[in-house]
Structure 1
Amino acid sequence: MDLQLKGKNILITGGSKGIGKAIARAFLSEGANVSIAARNNDFLMKAKEELGRDVSTFQADVTNASDRLKLIETFIKEKGTIDVLVNNAGGSNGGKAAETEMKLFYEALELNYVSAVHLSKLAVEHMKKAQSGAIINITSIFGRESGGKVTYNNAKSALISFTKSLADEVISYGIRVNSIAPGSILHDTGNWKRRLEENPEKIKAFVENEIPAGRFGTPEEIANVAAFLASDKASWIVGASINVDGGQSRMNF
């Protein structure tokens, strides 16, 4: 399917590996102008080698407000416009709520929630001028229901709520905001890969008991949904949180 994304300027945070890199590859296949941002320059350069020279890279720590400002400022200076922002940077920390230091709650919110809020607000300023744009926030099924580490769960819940609020505010400017809630995704740099290597029998049992599809999801399956949501083919999807999880979520809506 031609999603008519050719020539669109795309910025993906956390784009040097895993789901972010797969999203970059999906947009490249559609002929878009793709830029990836990450804090580790070595990972960025490795991703550029894999994805091709057409990919632009931006080194930025999205937990740092000044880096976020510089990222959008530099992107606009180089590309002229921003058509699609994918807030993919994220990660989990801590353990049980009562045993997790407050510092880790703040850190999780900064990485998974505040960074996306700030970058979205900055991108919207430019998208309003163009009267078009799409923002896609990568959340989690555990932002919609109980599960996962509490700091991560809380931050992703907040991001899903923000997605709906911002979406309703900016759709009149031609800007669509949505979120994708992945289930358990297996990739080389992810936690599930490490857990699978450490205890294959335990993880095999997890998949059998928790994922009706009977396997882990792939980064490409998230990426395909991201590319669709960014396109005009999804023109009537506004403020949605879409599960991409092989049936893993226990929610019925």
Structure 2
Amino acid sequence: MSDPKNTVLVTGAAMGIGKAVAENLVAAGKSVVLMDVNGDALAETVRALGPRAVASVGSVANPADSEAAVALAIERFGGLGGLSHNAGIQRYGDVVTTSRELWDEVMSVNLTGAFLVAKAAMPQLRQHKGAVVLTASIQGMAAQKGALAYVVAKHGLIGLVTGMAMDEAENGVRVNGVAPGSVDTPMLRWAIGLDPDPASLDAVIDGMHPLGRRGKPEEIASVIAFLLSDQASFMTGETVRVDGGVLARIAGAPKPEDRVRK
């Protein structure tokens, strides 16, 4: 039986950042329980990862599904020592055009889902002095136009990081977050495909990052793996930007070559 301390529940694990997290952890010798609503993609990911990975098909919006994933971790690996929450959806609309149904959909996955999976996992995490990392977004620190529900949910997710970190410190559980910029995931490619001029938007997205490109899932995963590890043993309540410098840039500031020389 595996060491429960080295077992991590990874949500949103069928593809994108969650999949990259699972790959990183298994490569480091960890065991993982992968949770996602996409059963076919999840099964494929688990097959590729081998015996240290098991699938738990379900939605973080359903508390019974999160409880089942934790139970599977106990059954297969003896317990649970980490949680990497990456499940999320992107929807668009402002305060007028966002329907109540769309609002509830986004909140149920992006914010309430994080609460529910953390709630299900926390007894095990307390027992094994584990760690939690929630994947938020730079839109939890700033905002783009026309994505109100997503922005609010990601702001709330960063609040969940801070609040849980304070509550769980005395229990030996660390809680941190990451706030990625644009990352080359299926969700980003889907969003770009909604634009009337996807090629132009592609270039804009790369150009808004000072490093000149979007991130890769594995680049976010490496930060998450660090925060889950004992190397980050004195970090809690922190949300780390992994954004290629987007929020460090002064918007509208002229480049040196654009300045008029006198």
TM-score (norm 2): 0.87
Counterpart secondary structure, 1:181:
strand
C-alpha distance in structure 1 between counterparts of 2:159 and 2:238, whole Å: 10
Hey, what does 2:211 align to over in structure 1?
Answer: 213
Work out whether 1:138 is the aligned partner of 2:154. Answer: no
CA deviation profile, 1:116-139 (whole Å, cap 9, x unmatched):
112112211122223x10001000
Tell me whether 10-19 or 78-87 shows the greater mean CA deviation. Answer: 78-87
Unaligned runs of 5+ in 2: 251-262
Hey, what does 2:77 align to over in structure 1?
Answer: 79
Hey, what does 1:182 align to over in structure 2?
Answer: 180
Counterpart secondary structure, 1:98:
coil
Instruction: For 2:116, give the aligned amino acid.
Output: H
Counterpart secondary structure, 1:63:
coil
Give the conservation status (yes or no) of the 8 Å contact 1:212–1:246: yes
Hey, what does 2:12 align to over in structure 1?
Answer: 14
Hey, what does 1:204 align to over in structure 2?
Answer: 203
Hey, what does 1:172 align to over in structure 2?
Answer: 170
Aligned residues with identical type, % of pairs? 30
Give the conservation status (yes or no) of the 8 Å contact 1:145–1:251: no
Pair 139,37 (structure 1): closer, same or farther in 2 beyond 3 Å: same
Structure 1 counterpart of 2:151, from 150, 153, 156: 153
TM-score (norm 1): 0.90
| Distance apart, 1:251 and its partner CA | 7.8
* Bigger Rg, which one: 2
Pair 167,38 (structure 1): closer, same or farther in 2 beyond 3 Å: same
| Distance apart, 1:50 and its partner CA | 2.9
Instruction: For 2:165, give the aligned amino acid.
Output: A
CA deviation profile, 1:6-31 (whole Å, cap 9, x unmatched):
97001101101011000001101110
Report how many residues are paired: 245
| Distance apart, 1:193 and its partner CA | 6.2
| Distance apart, 1:190 and its partner CA | 2.6
Counterpart secondary structure, 1:195:
helix
| Distance apart, 1:108 and its partner CA | 0.7
Work out whether 1:41 is the aligned partner of 2:39. Answer: yes
Pair 14,176 (structure 1): closer, same or farther in 2 beyond 3 Å: same
| Distance apart, 1:64 and its partner CA | 1.4
Pair 111,194 (structure 1): closer, same or farther in 2 beyond 3 Å: closer
Counterpart secondary structure, 2:45:
helix
Hey, what does 1:240 align to over in structure 2?
Answer: 238
Hey, what does 2:125 align to over in structure 1?
Answer: 127
Structure 2 counterpart of 1:55, from 53, 56, 62: 53
Unaligned runs of 5+ in 1: none
Tell me whether 178-187 or 39-48 shows the greater mean CA deviation. Answer: 39-48
Structure 2 counterpart of 1:231, from 226, 229, 232: 229
Hey, what does 2:259 align to over in structure 1?
Answer: none
Give the conservation status (yes or no) of the 8 Å contact 1:82–1:123: yes
Pair 17,6 (structure 1): closer, same or farther in 2 beyond 3 Å: same
RMSD: 2.1
CA deviation profile, 1:150-197 (whole Å, cap 9, x unmatched):
11111111110011011011112211000011100013x232366279
Work out whether 1:66 is the aligned partner of 2:64. Answer: yes
Tell me whether 236-245 or 54-63 shows the greater mean CA deviation. Answer: 54-63
Give the conservation status (yes or no) of the 8 Å contact 1:6–1:32: no
Instruction: For 2:188, give the aligned amino acid.
Output: N
Work out whether 1:96 is the aligned partner of 2:94. Answer: yes
